[in-house]
Each structure stands twice: as structure tokens, then as C-alpha cells.
């Protein structure tokens, strides 16, 4: 039976040429013979298209049959088995929305436009001074080693302030990092990183980050533009930031403190900060890669 299907596809061109959609005369991309196509377009409450939204299709047996992200036009399309599927759409900063759609063999089913409503739990923090909680904040980095593996490390000592302005876009962040607090779990490697080959801790004991502006992208996504000073050299950086909201937390040593949280990432180029130490293997492969990935998990507490 399977070989018969393959011979029929080869002789008729099925699976390699565009086929008409029997439901509406449109053309479908090449798809398996026993599947259909489901599509939708996701937008926010103001009609703005939402790229990067996650669309998940689940069948009646609660099995995931397809999952993916919308493209730059908020569009999602997938070949899926026939049947009635639950279509769930989620995006950072928005409430999840679900609907149902029936997919038929060799037909395209369009769910149409799916609008998402803002998630009220991600209300922006009130104006004031918010200080990093050092016990629940991490500044981590990842570096490539000889083109094969990755070295993970972090800075253990730092201080950070977020000055939240009445207009959130005007807020400012200041962070000071103690360079000698670098920790990769290997003493010999950490000593080398503290040397003049890398951080040059003796001459430049601290790293400084100062933000210049916040730019809202969509939902819970922001870009924080600023300047990082390392080894006495200052270069611009952009932190791609996900805002995680605010909570009150009652715990040991914390009397119902109001706190906010975010997750940020960026990539630094060593040459931008005159970190030019370079050693290579016999084949010319660099021992340390040219870029460093930075990741920050921040919790900040409102100062009274």
C-alpha cells in the first residue's frame, strides 16, 4: 500500500508540485497525502501583528501534533493530521487564547486572525528606587572553548539599582560588578581570567553598566540600551529583556517585600574591550572564542 502511494506520487507529481485547495481554489504547499494544512495569523489587542507567538495544536487524545512560532508577519502554517484539534496561542505579555479547528485531508483550514489580550499581571513597577537582591540575582556568561565546548561562569559580587521613572521608558539602570569575583569553578582558569590577558583586575577592579533608554518591543519584551565599561574601555550594548512582573514575597529575612524580575541577554565581542589575548591550536582554532554570551536573571526590591 505504501509503495503504491509512492509510485502514484512519483507518476503524478504529488508532493513536489503545488496542489489546488479543494475548499477554496488556493494553492497548498507540498504536504503528505494523508494530511491537511492549518493556518492562522496572530495579532495583539490593537491589531498589531505578533511575530514569535507560540502556536500549539493538540488532538482529541491530548497529544501535541504541531507546534511552532509565528513568522515576522504573525503568520503560522503547518501540515497536520486530519481531525478536530485544539489550537492554543501564547505570547509573552499576553493571555493565552484557545480555539478549535477541524482539519481535513488535502484541504487548508484557516483559523483567521487570532487576537491576544494583554496580561494584566505584568503591570509595570511603580516609580522609585529598586535595588538588586544579590541572593536572587545572577550575572552569568558563556564562552566558547577550542571550538568544541562551552565554559560557564558568573560574577559573585555586584550591586545594581533601577531608578523607575513615572514614564517607564525614561527609567535608568546602574550596575557595578567586582571583576575579581569571577567564578568558573576552576581556580587556575579564574586566576588567568583575572590577569592582564583578560579582565586585568589589578588595574581595572570593576565593570560598570549604565543604561541610556528603554525601548518597548511588544508584550513583555524590551530592549535596554546602555554602555558597558570593561578594562577601562566603554562600548554600547543592548540587553534583550523579558519583563517577568512583580510580586510580594514573604520569606526568611523578607517582610513582604515588593519585588520585580526580568531576564536579559546580550553578546559581547572581546575585541570591543581590548581583550586581545589569543592562543590557537595547531589547526588555527582559537582557544577562546571571539564572543561572550551574557545572561542576567534579576530580582530587585523596592527601597523604602
What is the domain-level CATH number for residue 99?
Answer: 2.60.40.10
pLDDT along the chain (304 residues), means of 10: 38 36 48 85 93 95 95 94 95 93 91 92 90 95 74 94 95 97 91 89 96 92 96 94 86 74 93 65 52 94 86
pLDDT of residue 254: 63
pLDDT of residue 172: 96
pLDDT of residue 272: 81
Residues 6+ apart with CB under 8 A from 6: none
- The three state secondary structure string of the chain is CHHHHHHHHHHHCCCCCCEECCCCCCEECCCCCCCEEEEEEEECCCCCECCCCEEEEECCCCCEEEEEECCCCCEEEEEECCEEEEEEEECCCECCEEEEEEECCCCEEEEEEEECCECHHHCCCCCEEEEECHHHCEEEEEEEECCCEEEEEEECCEEEEEEECCCHHHCEEEEEEEHHHEECCCHHHHHHHHCCCCCCCCCCCEEEEEEEEEEEEECCEEEEEEEEEECCEEEEEEEEEEEEEEEEEEECCEEEEEEEEEEEEEEEEHHHHCCCCCCECCCCCECEEEEEEEEEEEEEEECC
pLDDT of residue 28: 52
201 and 238 part of one domain: yes
What domain range includes position 65?
Answer: 2-118
262 and 127 part of one domain: yes
| Residue bearing cell 503524478 | 12
Q: Which of 95, 118, 141 is the last residue in one of the domains?
A: 118
Q: How far apart are CA 123 and CA 224, in angstroms?
A: 18
Buried b (16+ CB within 10 A) or exposed e, 50-74: bebbbbbbbbeeeeebbeeebeeeb
pLDDT of residue 255: 67
65 and 82 part of one domain: yes
In CATH, what number is assigned to the domain containing residue 267? 2.40.128.110
| Residue bearing cell 507567538 | 53
132 and 194 part of one domain: yes
242 and 264 part of one domain: yes
Q: How far apart are CA 268 and CA 295, in angstroms?
A: 11
185 and 90 part of one domain: no
293 and 160 part of one domain: yes
Query: What pTM was estimated for this model as a whole?
Result: 0.73
253 and 126 part of one domain: yes
pLDDT of residue 210: 97
182 and 94 part of one domain: no
CA separation, residue 276 to residues 112, 198, 239 (Å):
53, 8, 23
135 and 76 part of one domain: no
Q: Which of 118, 134, 165 is the last residue in one of the domains?
A: 118
pLDDT of residue 247: 83
The count of domains in the chain is 2
pLDDT of residue 32: 72
193 and 274 part of one domain: yes
Q: Which of 118, 135, 158 is the last residue in one of the domains?
A: 118
218 and 148 part of one domain: yes
Amino acid at each position: 500500500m505504501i509503495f503504491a502511494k509512492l509510485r502514484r506520487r512519483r507518476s503524478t507529481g504529488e508532493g513536489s508540485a503545488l496542489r489546488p485547495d479543494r475548499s477554496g481554489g488556493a494553492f497548498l504547499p507540498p504536504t503528505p497525502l494523508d494530511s491537511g494544512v492549518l493556518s492562522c495569523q496572530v495579532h495583539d489587542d490593537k491589531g498589531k501583528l505578533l511575530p514569535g507567538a507560540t502556536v500549539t495544536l493538540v488532538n482529541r487524545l491530548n497529544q501535541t501534533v504541531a507546534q511552532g512560532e509565528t513568522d515576522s508577519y504573525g503568520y503560522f502554517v503547518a501540515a497536520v493530521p486530519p481531525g478536530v484539534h485544539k489550537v492554543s496561542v501564547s505570547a509573552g505579555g499576553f493571555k493565552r487564547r484557545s480555539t478549535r479547528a477541524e482539519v481535513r485531508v488535502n484541504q487548508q483550514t484557516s483559523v483567521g486572525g487570532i487576537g491576544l489580550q494583554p496580561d494584566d499581571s505584568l503591570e509595570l513597577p511603580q516609580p522609585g528606587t529598586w535595588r538588586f537582591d544579590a541572593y536572587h540575582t545572577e550575572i552569568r556568561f558563556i564562552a566558547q572553548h577550542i571550538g568544541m565546548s562551552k565554559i560557564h561562569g558568573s560574577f559573585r559580587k555586584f550591586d545594581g539599582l533601577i531608578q523607575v521613572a513615572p514614564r517607564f521608558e525614561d527609567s535608568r539602570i546602574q550596575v557595578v560588578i567586582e571583576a575579581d569575583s569571577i567564578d568558573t569553578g576552576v581556580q587556575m582558569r579564574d586566576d588567568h581570567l583575572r590577569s592582564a590577558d583578560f579582565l586585568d583586575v589589578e588595574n581595572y577592579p570593576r565593570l560598570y553598566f549604565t543604561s541610556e533608554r528603554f525601548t518597548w518591543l511588544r508584550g513583555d519584551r524590551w530592549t535596554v540600551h546602555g554602555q558597558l565599561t570593561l578594562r577601562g574601555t566603554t562600548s554600547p550594548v543592548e540587553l534583550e529583556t523579558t519583563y517577568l512582573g512583580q510580586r510580594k514575597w514573604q520569606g526568611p529575612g523578607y517582610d513582604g517585600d515588593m519585588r520585580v524580575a526580568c531576564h536579559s541577554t546580550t553578546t559581547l565581542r572581546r575585541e570591543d574591550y581590548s581583550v586581545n589575548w589569543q592562543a590557537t591550536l595547531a589547526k588555527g582554532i582559537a582557544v577562546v572564542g571571539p564572543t561572550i554570551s551574557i545572561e542576567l536573571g534579576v530580582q530587585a526590591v523596592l527601597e523604602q
